[in-house]
């Protein structure tokens, strides 16, 4: 076997080094490009992860806003129901008031008339009442016997005489024993015993809408009565002996 000369060995070594260098020079740009691509992909992945985290936060925030909106909607529904209930109640109140005034309108001509001797006292100069001087603003109602004839009453307020008489309304009147049957006329308000007519132990305060001859005794005067707020007359005529008092003054 022939031995290679030292010079040849040197050339072979140099050639190998040059070949390796040329090969490295050829592959190095591809490697760099791959590294750059890998870095770009890693950067994109990182950006996507960040965006994903941001989106998660946005979704959580939107979910919280949805919860708040649902609560507001629920509260608004409750408010709407409460308002609708109040409106419905107001409508009922309005209808009741309209009905009251409609009935009052139908019977407004039946307002009690001024009885003979009733008068308003002008506080300017005063007026004489028997042996007395009345020098303040006054409504003068003559009684045959004040101590024995004047009577006052407080109403329980069943609603039949609205809008004139309500619960706890105080009235002053003349006892029936101080009256003549002819002194009770259409439009007057009277209080009468309700036993025979309503089978009630309570005294009833209603308005006289007509005077008629009594069905049990045509020679006597009876009274057709009705609560102002009622849409029907009382079931039976009121006899004079059932009258307790005639109302002359209502304290509103």
Does some domain include residue 181?
Answer: yes
Q: What is the pLDDT of residue 44?
A: 84
Burial class (CB within 10 angstroms; exposed 0-12, middle 13-18, buried 19+) of 237: buried
Place of tokens 């308003």: 120
Mean pLDDT of the chain: 79
169 & 102 share domain: no
Residue 199 tokens, joined: 């089978």
Domain that holds residue 82: 50-106
**CB of 121 closer than 8 Å to CB of 127:** yes
Q: Which phi and psi angles does 32 have, rounded to 5°? A: -60, -40
Q: Which two tokens stand for residue 149?
A: 């004839």
Q: Is residue 55 included in any domain, yes or no? A: yes
Q: Is residue 30 part of a domain?
A: no
Confirm if 222 and 239 have CB atoms less than 8 A apart.
Answer: yes
> Highest-confidence range of 33-47, 97-111, 133-147, by mean pLDDT?
33-47
Q: In CATH, what number is assigned to the domain containing residue 215?
A: 2.10.109.10
> How far apart (Å, rounded) are the C-alpha atoms in residues 242 and 244?
6
Contact 169, 252 (CB under 8 A): yes
Q: What's the structural domain count of the chain? A: 2
In DSSP terms, which residues pair with 127 in a beta bridge?
A: 134
Report pLDDT digits (tens) over 41-57. Answer: 888 888 888 888 888 88
Tally Cβ neighbours within 10 Å of residue 232.
7
Residue 71 pLDDT level (bands cut at 50, 70, 90) = confident
Note whether 95 and 178 are same-domain residues: no
State pLDDT tens for residues 85-123. 889 888 888 887 777 667 666 666 666 665 666 666 665
């Amino acid at each position: 076997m022939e031995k290679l000369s030292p010079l040849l060995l040197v050339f072979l070594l140099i050639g190998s080094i040059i070949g390796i260098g040329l090969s490295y020079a050829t592959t190095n740009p591809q490697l760099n490009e791959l590294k750059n691509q890998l870095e770009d992909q890693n950067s994109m992945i990182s950006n996507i992860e960040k965006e994903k985290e941001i989106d998660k936060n946005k979704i959580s925030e939107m979910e919280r806003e949805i919860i708040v909106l649902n609560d507001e909607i629920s509260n608004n529904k409750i408010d709407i129901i409460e308002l609708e209930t109040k409106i419905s109640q107001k409508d009922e109140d309005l209808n009741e008031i309209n009905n009251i005034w409609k009935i009052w309108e139908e019977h407004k001509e039946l307002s009690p008339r001024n009885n003979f001797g009733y008068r308003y006292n002008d506080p300017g100069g005063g007026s004489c009442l028997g042996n007395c001087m009345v020098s303040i603003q006054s409504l003068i109602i003559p009684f045959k016997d004040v101590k024995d004839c004047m009577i006052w009453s407080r109403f329980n307020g069943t609603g039949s005489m609205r809008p004139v008489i309500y619960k706890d309304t105080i009235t002053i009147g003349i006892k029936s024993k101080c009256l003549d049957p002819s002194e009770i006329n259409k439009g007057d308000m009277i209080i009468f015993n309700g036993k025979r007519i309503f089978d009630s132990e309570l005294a009833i305060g209603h308005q006289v809408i007509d005077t008629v001859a009594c069905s049990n005794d045509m020679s006597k005067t009876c009274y057709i009565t009705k609560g102002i707020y009622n849409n029907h007359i009382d079931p039976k005529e009121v006899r004079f002996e059932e009258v307790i008092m005639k109302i002359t003054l209502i304290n509103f």
